Each structure stands twice: as C-alpha cells, then as structure tokens.
Amino acid sequence: MTMQDCLFCKIVRKEIPAAVVFEDETVVAFLDIKPVNPGHVLVVPRAHAADYASTDDASLRDIAVVAKCVGQAVMRSLQAPGFNIGVNNGRAAGQLVDHMHLHVMPRFEGDGYELWHGKPYAEGEMQEVAEKLKTALG
C-alpha cells in the first residue's frame, strides 16, 4: 500500500472528510467513525508510518502530547470521568488501518467495556520471558 492509497493520509491531506477536532504542523486528531463511546478520537502523525513500532520517536512524542490534551478535553467537555489510550500494533493485535494512530476513548462508569483479562505464567516462564526481553532491550 502506498501513502497515496492510505486512508488516514487521505484524511490528513483533506481528500476525504473527517470530524477533525485538532491539528497542528505534525499531528491531526479526528473522531473515529465507529466510537467505543461518543468522543472517541484517533490521533495520527501527519507523516505516514505503518504502525507504532515503525514510527519515529519525534512523531511518537508529538502524538502522545496531543493525546493527553484530547484526554483532558473529553473529560472537561464530555464529562467523561476517565479515558483509555489504545494502540493496536499489527493484525494479531487488531490493527486494521496501517497508518499509526492512538485511540483516545472516553470512558463512563458502567459503559459495559472491560479491559483484557490477565492469565498466570507457567512455572519459571516469567523469568525466562524477562531474560529474553532484557537481552533484546539491552
């Protein structure tokens, strides 16, 4: 897929309509068409990157700061007592649109959504996994 075909690049370039709630030189934020709750916002870098893992650090900082402001705004203007920030990185994680985006999802008491459920490690597995990650991150 080229940037020419990318859905969110088209939104960034204003080639297709979106309910844009904030934009600056590096970031655009607009309403998700299928919200978890009204006010669910997608925060995207103007510069195309396929997913979180391949986004440059400066763009990640920019969208994180805008996501904070959007979160504050949904609490203030939509009376949401909380919000979730989400990223789906890769098909296995539920990513459908291959242009990096942070979800900012207003949350209300009793809105019916649940967070993921944890499962326990097998004997010795936690140390093994920690070692692999430490090596990869070292």
Interface ranges with Zn ion (CB under 5 A) = 6, 8-9, 48, 99
Cβ closest to ligand 5GP, residue 111 vs residue 125: 111
CB contact at 8 A, 23 and 29: yes
Which of 31/47 has CB closer to ligand 5GP?
31
Taking a C-beta distance cutoff of 8 angstroms, is the pair 106, 37 a contact?
yes
Decide if residue 50 touches ligand 5GP (CB under 6 A).
no
When the beta carbons of 19 and 126 are compared against ligand 5GP, the nearer one is 19
User: Among ligand 5GP, Zn ion, none, what binds residue 66 when CB lies within 5 to 8 Å by partner kind?
Assistant: none
Does 97 interact with ligand 5GP (rule: CB under 6 A)?
yes
Q: Is 101 a catalytic residue?
A: yes
- Here the contacts of 110-116 (C-beta below 8 Å, separation 24 or greater) are 111/37, 113/36, 115/84
Instruction: Please give the sequence-ordered ranges of beta strands (E in DSSP) within the chain, or none if there are none.
Output: 20-23, 27-31, 41-45, 82-86, 102-107
- Rounded to an integer, what is the distance from CA 77 to the centroid of its chain? 21
- Residues tagged active-site: 101
List residues near ligand 5GP by CB under 6 A. Answer: 7, 18, 30-34, 42, 88, 94-97
